[in-house]
Every structure is written in structure tokens, then in C-alpha cells.
Amino acid sequence: MKFYIKFDGIAACKVIVREHLDSLGIKYEMLSLGEIIINNKISDEDFNNLQKDLSKYSIEIVSNPKNQLIQRIKDTIVELVHEPDMPLTTISIYLAEKLNLSYGYISNVFSEYTYSSIENYFIIQKIERAKKLIIEEELTLTEISYKLNYSSVAHLSGQFKKTTGITPSMFKRIIERRRLTAKSN
Amino acid sequence: MADDDADDRQFFSEAISELKMENKFTVFKDGGELMDYLQHPETDLPHILFLDLNMPCKTGFDCLKEIRQTARFNDLSIAIYSTSSSEEDIENSFIGGANIYIKKPNDFVKLKKAIKDVVNINWQFHSSGMNMETFLFSI
């Protein structure tokens, strides 16, 4: 017996990709052909499995290596500010050592693709950490400034005010009152 | 954005267009118009909403309250855009669920800088998956 098939390669490819994403329980959006946005975080293991499974169908995941580097820079900064004892190095030395690349290169790629600087991102993340420590662990500003390697409380307060436009005490008051209103509703 | 003052709307729209951001920008004359638009099921929700506090019928506070009671709008950043710089208004806006408070600048260059800073910090929060619950920014 001999028969002929008629097929739509694009549609078939979409179905294959969809089935694999669904089976891994990944939430995604398929934009134009070949562009997929993953809505929640995907573990390295799942990503590798997806890559392996799709390669059987000659479907290759192409991701921009620069974007991957930026993600690694961001992750490294977030990890750094979450260290129980933040090491006393500068962000430039820390990143260069962790990523094994020159800081000049890292810094250029970051600025070029994010329209922001590493220093700026580092400050934002330190202030994010400070916010969390203020409301969740109820540490004093002195304790937080020590934990995040600020030279003084004044330095931390100043940077908090400069980054968010409000003082740490006003921040604390707002979050507390928000939670109270949420409870009473 | 929603603002009942025609001059303010124009001022703001010009600043946005001069910043050459590749974003879609929609203007509403009052809170009612804005809420109708947001609640329409086919509306593509914006990333950020600029809300004047003093508007007739539905004030900015009314809109803020309605939006924050709807789960569908959880990821929507709300920027209050107001002439008031009283600490009480700022604090109440934040307690009501605003993320950003912009004191209306009367200088065009300052307005452009403020919008740019706001859009930038908002993007940082969304793209880096930072905690929206504690996203407060006043300028």
C-alpha cells in the first residue's frame, strides 16, 4: 500500500511545541511564529527536558545569549543581596569573579540591553531587600544597614528616600495600614 | 491616563509623544470613562495607569478603590498624578493601593523626566518579578 499525506508544517510544529509545554505544566503565550513567552519561572531541569524533547523533532530553542547573560547578572545580584552575610566586596569585583568575565564587558552588555546600569540595579535590589527586612523581619534600620553593608544608617535612609521617594518609616507605616484595611474589609 | 483637565491631558500627551516610547497611550476625560474601558472584557490591560485625584463624578480615589478590589487588575500599576504635594494625600494614595505618586510638575522638561523615571522603574519591577505589594515610588 502506498499513500500520500498532505501537511502543514507550521501547524504541526505549533501542536508539538504546545503539547510539550502543556505536559510540563508550563504556562505560556505563543506570539508570532517561533516566539514564545513563558509566564512563570521555569526550572533549568524542565527547560533542558523541553530542549531535549523538541530536538527529536528538529525543533531548536534559540535564545539570545546576551539576554541569558543579563539574566545571570540579575540573578547573581539578587543572590548577593540575599546572602546572610553579604561579602564586603564591590559589586564589580563580585560579578567579575562569579561570572568569570571582565566587569567592563558585563557592564556594557547590561547597559546596552536594559537602558539601566548595574550599579542602579544593585541599589534597587538592596532597597528591595531592605523593604522586606523592614516588614517581614522587623529589623531596625541600624541592623539593616549593617546587614547590607551600608557605611551608616544615614546612607541607607538617604538611598531609600532617593530610590523610592519616601522615607523608610513612611514606607513601614503605609504597608502596615494597607494590611489593616485589607483585614477589616 | 484619566484627567478632567484638558490642558493637563495635552501637556501629558505631548510629553509622552516626545519621549518616543513605543507604547500605546490612551486618554480619558473622567473616572467613569476610564472604568468602562478597563472593565470591558476585550480591553488589553495597560501596564500603567496615570490617575488624577480630583475628577468630577468618579474621583481618582474612587477608581483606585474599585481597581484594587478586582483581582483581574492585580498586575496593573497605578500612578496618581496630582497637584497636591501634601504628605497626607501621598500616604492615603499609597494606602489605597497606588504604586506611584507623581506631583504634577509645571515645567515640561521635569514632566518628561518624571514620566521617563516612572516608566523605567515600573518596567524594572515587572520585568524582574519584584514584589508589587511593596512597590511604592513617589516623585
pLDDT digits (tens, 9 = 90+) for A37-81: 887 778 888 888 888 888 888 887 877 778 878 888 998 999 999
The answer to whether residues B117 and A165 touch, using CB atoms and an 8 Å cutoff, is no
The per-residue pLDDT for B1 is 94
Q: What distance in Å separates residue A178's CA from the closest CA in chain B?
A: 5
For residues B18-43, average pLDDT = 90
Which residues in chain A have Cβ-Cβ distances shorter than 8 Å to B86?
A: none
CA distance B6 to B116: 22
Contact call for B120 and A178, based on CB within 8 A: no
Residue A33 has pLDDT above 60, yes or no: no
Using alpha carbons, select from B87, B83, B26 the residue that is nearest to residue B60. Answer: B83
Cell (9 digits) for A184: 477589616
The per-residue pLDDT for A184 is 72
- Taking every pair of C-alpha atoms in chain B, what is the biggest distance, in angstroms? 37
pLDDT-based confidence at residue A34 (cuts at 50, 70, 90): low
Burial of A8 (0-12, 13-18, 19+ CB in 10 A): exposed
* A121 at interface of B, judged by CB pairs closer than 8 A: yes
pLDDT digits (tens, 9 = 90+) for B79-128: 999 999 899 999 999 999 999 999 999 899 999 999 999 998 998 888 77
Q: What distance in Å separates residue B53's CA from the closest CA in chain A?
A: 18
Q: Which long-range contacts (CB under 8 A, 24 or more apart) does A83-87 make?
A: A86/A147, A86/A148, A86/A149
* B20 at interface of A, judged by CB pairs closer than 8 A: no
The per-residue pLDDT for A32 is 59
Radius of gyration (Cα) for chain B, nearest Å? 14
For residues B37-51, average pLDDT = 92
- Residue keyed to cell 534597587: A124
- ipTM of the complex in this document: 0.88
CB nearest to A124's CB, from B90, B91, B124: B124
